[in-house]
Amino acid sequence: MSENIEISVSNLHSVLDCPLCFWLAAKGLGPPTFPLPGVLSRMDAVIKGYMKEFVGRSDLPEWFPVKGTFLGATGKMKATDPKSGVTLKGMLDALVLTPDGRYYIVDYKTASPKEEIPDYYQMQLDGYAFLLEGNGKPVAGGALLYFTPEEEDLSERKISFRITPLHAEVDPKRVLCPLMQVKKILGMESPPQPSDDCEWCEWRGEIGKTLR
């Protein structure tokens, strides 16, 4: 395995979900992927299109989770962990420059909000913080911004959305152990053990038994 290993922020948590699935995916043998439903893709485009109007401005909507100058989405960013040699890459939905000169991460979600930030979303926010600080941008914090359809009368053929921010503390150091795991697993010649609760590995095992 080449030492030049890259992984996207969105895939970083998968190394913790199941080492075997992660190892197999790196060899092109991962579980099947499913395209994002068209309605969610359209919602995402509408949200990002609306927020583009605020790039360079500080008069943000009152429901927006943080005050400052809205910088919008970032281009592709990369940062390399010097210890593991693994490069993390990704694009942020939105970035805000706060009055104290730091940067605040905002990630849009078209879903129902949870009471607490799920581990995989926390890993994403920490990964984005790693990218920013690796590119010389000090981080102030992060938030998930949920857009959830309301239940209402559709006689006017319109749907309103409830907008819910969920703030999070971010720590780029939390991604260092997963990055070391990435290097370790991808350096293995033989497959690693699966996670005990991996449903894909359980399914593969049952299929194997059936086909014997």
CATH, residue 166: 3.90.320
Residue 14 domain-assigned (yes or no) = yes
pLDDT at 106: 98
Q: How many domains does the chain have?
A: 1
pLDDT for position 157: 83
Q: Are strands 94-97 and 103-109 parallel, antiparallel or unpaired?
A: antiparallel
Distance CA 191, CA 198 (A): 15
Residue 212 belongs to some domain of the structure: no
pLDDT of residue 196 exceeding 80: yes
Please compute the mean of the pLDDT values over residues 111-137 and round it to a whole number. 95
| Residue 196 within any structural domain of the chain | yes
pLDDT-above-70 percentage for the chain: 98
Judge whether 187 lies within some domain. Answer: yes
**Distance of alpha carbon 129 from alpha carbon 88, whole angstroms:** 11
- Answer yes or no: is 36 within a domain: yes
For residue 75, give its domain range. 6-150+158-206
Q: Is residue 194 part of a domain?
A: yes
- Within-domain flag for 1: no
Tokens of 206: 């049952």
* Structural domain includes residue 52: yes
Q: What is the model's pLDDT at position 3? A: 62
Q: Does residue 168 contact residue 143 with C-beta atoms inside 8 Å? A: yes
- The whole-model pTM stands at 0.90
C-alpha 1/C-alpha 204 separation (Å) is 25
Segment 127-136 mean pLDDT: 98
